[in-house]
Structure 1
Amino acid sequence: MEKMLKDLFANQQYDENNFFLIAGPCVVESEELLMEVADKVSGICKNLGIPYVFKSSYRKANRTSASSFTGLGDETALQLLKKTGDTYKLPVTSDVHAHDETAMAAKYIDILQIPAFLCRQTDLLVAAAETGKIVNVKKGQFVSGPSMKFAAEKIRNAGNNKVILTERGNSFGYQDLVVDYRNIPWMKEHGAPVVMDCTHSLQQPNQTSGVTGGNPQLIGTISKAAIASGADGLFIETHPNPAVAKSDGANMLKLDLLEGLLQQLVKLRKAVI
């Protein structure tokens, strides 16, 4: 596990006792947006000694409404992700949704992210594993931390030991999620770094408007509790102006609020390790 992360962040200088950060806008909207966010966040992380992975989805396959924005086109968006990573010397991650996408995506990104709804899809997990890339599996809203050992086993049995597991809350009724922080130590027992998704765990899905809601004012609460519970990394989607974002604007952190939050989290990390 330690070697995987050291190799991932080999181009960065950081405090080895820090958590790592996966952050960026929800979806690739434009080159300008990716570069703006990567420039801002990489600078903050460098100053705070936080190892950083840039994240943005090249395609949003899971949308409530058929009219929702899904992307600029797979190859176009993946090329922009790679360009962003190359420009700022950052590892890059994005979601993959089907087994036949994995080889294409692996040409451009460093971590293949498995969406929560697909965490039990064996063919997808195996195909992602066979690329040799790091595979980050988000825990389904319907899955317990202990049962995520089966997702990790599928990847490892395919010959790939580079696994990350991400907690993102559990369904609570039809339009809410709650976080059971027991899942963080439980998933760490599977021998993989554990990340807390601090934005998607605050979603309010299944809105009658066809647009997912959220509670971004609680991102600080979720992230602080995750660090106190032993999370190895944090996942935070961020945007300069969430109100005009083309996906998940209701639960993204405004970019200019990120630095202050990370400063608090670095202090908290030092207090609990």
Structure 2
Amino acid sequence: MQLFLDKLQKYNSGNFFLMAGPCAIEGRDIALSIAEKIVSLTQKYEIPYIFKGSYRKANRTKANSFTGIGDEKALKILKEVSDTFGVPVVTDIHESHEAAMAAEYVDVLQIPAFLCRQTELLEAAAKTGKAVNIKKGQFLSGASMGFAVEKIKSVNPDAPTILTDRGNSFGYSDLVVDYRNLVEMAKFEVPVVMDCTHSLQKPNQTSGITGGDPTMISTIAKAAIAVGADGLFIETHPDPKNAKSDGANMLHLDNLENLLQDLVRIRQAVR
């Protein structure tokens, strides 16, 4: 736990922190390349940084969708990113038995939105002593996430806990962001994060592949910083069209620096 805090609190810039990286770990070289680029930018703008990459994708629409390159192989790549660049790393877990395994390699265990009410999963994550990032369910209010925090704290009062909004279901194939959720979740005295890419998904497409609208990423991110989000979650890739998972709503890596510049200015103005 302390290692995570030491890694994250790298700067005293008053900036938001950033959780960013590819949706899924596709391979060693591309993961290290993406991490190197983001690390250089976050160092330049003094933004605390957590590298994000799913070691396995469990929630897929189609049976033949990409799920991963192998659990141990992907987790070792995440550990290599952390060791190489000295940054914390975060990955999703989907079942209770995964918590202890993933905790051997990463600093933050992420609870997917659809699973945020799964008591045993939350408790298993808390028992590892790692930080836990809980994504708010698309079907829940920000205020209701206090119960998820309670589940973590009841097992491990000292576990660093983060709450992340990723929009709410709107009809069958869209999401909307209600920024009141950030304000409500902040009342639980934990860092609150806006997921700027998953909140722009267009799920349940007849093609079986989730759509998205990456042109709105900057809008979601800027509004979140203005509202007072402590951190941002952004999936990014050097070639989103050919990414193996969630390419439709990822930010092109080349566009990240301009966005971070704008966000730092907004943060400074708000503060």
**Which TM-score band applies after superposition, normalised by the shorter structure?**
over 0.9
CA shift in 2, pair 1:225/1:11, >3 Å: closer
For the 8 Å contact 2:122–2:152, the answer to whether it is kept is yes
Distance 1:83 1:207 in 2: 36
SS in structure 2 at match of 1:135: strand
Is the 8 Å Cα contact of residues 163 and 193 (structure 1) preserved in structure 2? yes
Aligned residue number for residue 242 of structure 1: 240
Partners of 1:123 and 1:250 in 2: how far apart? 32
Mapped partners of 1:9, 1:171: distance in 2? 36
1:144-171 Cα distance to aligned partner (Å, 9 max, x none): 0000000000000012431100000000
1:141 pairs with 138, 143, 146, which one? 138
How far residue 7 of structure 1 moved from its aligned partner, in angstroms, is 5.2
Give me the identity figure in percent: 63
- Once residues 124 and 115 of structure 2 are traced to their aligned partners in structure 1, the CA distance between those partners, rounded to angstroms, is 13
DSSP 3-state at the match of 1:237: strand
For residues 175 and 34 of structure 1, the distance between their equivalents in structure 2, rounded to whole angstroms, comes to 30
Q: Which amino acid aligns with 2:130?
A: K
Shift of 1:27: 0.1
Aligned partner of 1:213: which letter? G
Residue of structure 2 in register with 1:97 after alignment: 94
Tell me the residue number matched to 1:202.
200
1:222-261 CA distance string (max 9 Å, x none): 0000000100000000000000000000000000000000
Change (3 A) 1:86 1:211: same
Residues in 2 aligned to 1:159 and 1:197: alpha-carbon distance in whole angstroms: 25
Distance in 2 (CA, whole Å) between partners of 1:5 and 1:16 is: 20
The answer to whether the aligner puts 1:50 opposite 2:44 as a matched pair is no
Give 1:31's aligned residue: 28
What whole-Å deviation, never above 9, does each CA across 1:21-75 have from its counterpart, x for those lacking one? 0000000001011011000000000000100000000000000111100001111
Corresponding residue of 1:230: 228
TM-score by length of 2: 0.97
**Which stretches of structure 1, 4 residues or more, deviate above 3 A after TM superposition?**
4-7, 9-13
Deviation track 1:148-207 (CA, whole Å, cap 9, x = no partner) reads: 000000000012431100000000000000000000110000110000000000000000
Segments of structure 2 that go 5 or more residues without pairing to the other structure are: none
Match of 1:216 in 2: 214
Relative to structure 1, is the Cα distance of residues 231 and 125 closer, same or farther in structure 2, using a 3 angstrom cutoff? same
State the match for 1:22 in structure 2: 19
- Does structure 2 retain, via aligned residues, the 8 Å contact 1:15–1:50? no
* Cα 1:12–1:190 shift into 2, 3 Å: closer
> CA 1:5/1:270 → structure 2, altered by over 3 Å: closer, same or farther?
farther
In structure 2, C-alpha distance between the alignment counterparts of 1:16 and 1:260, rounded to whole Å: 18
| One-letter amino acid of the structure 2 residue matched with residue 106 of structure 1 | A
Say whether the 8 Å CA contact 2:202–2:212 is kept in structure 1.
yes
Map residues 134-173 of structure 1 onto 2, 5 A cutoff.
134-161=131-158, 162-173=160-171
2:180 is the alignment partner of 1:182: yes
Does the CA-based 8 Å contact 1:125-1:151 persist in structure 2?
yes
Residue by residue over 1:81-123, the C-alpha shift from the partner in whole angstroms, topping out at 9 and shown as x without a partner, is 1011111111000000000000000000000000000000000
**Structure 1 residues not aligned, in runs of 5+:** none
Give, in whole Å, the separation in 1 of the partners of 2:238 and 2:168.
28
Instruction: Give the conservation status (yes or no) of the 8 Å contact 1:132–1:160.
Output: no
Paired amino acid for 2:116 = C
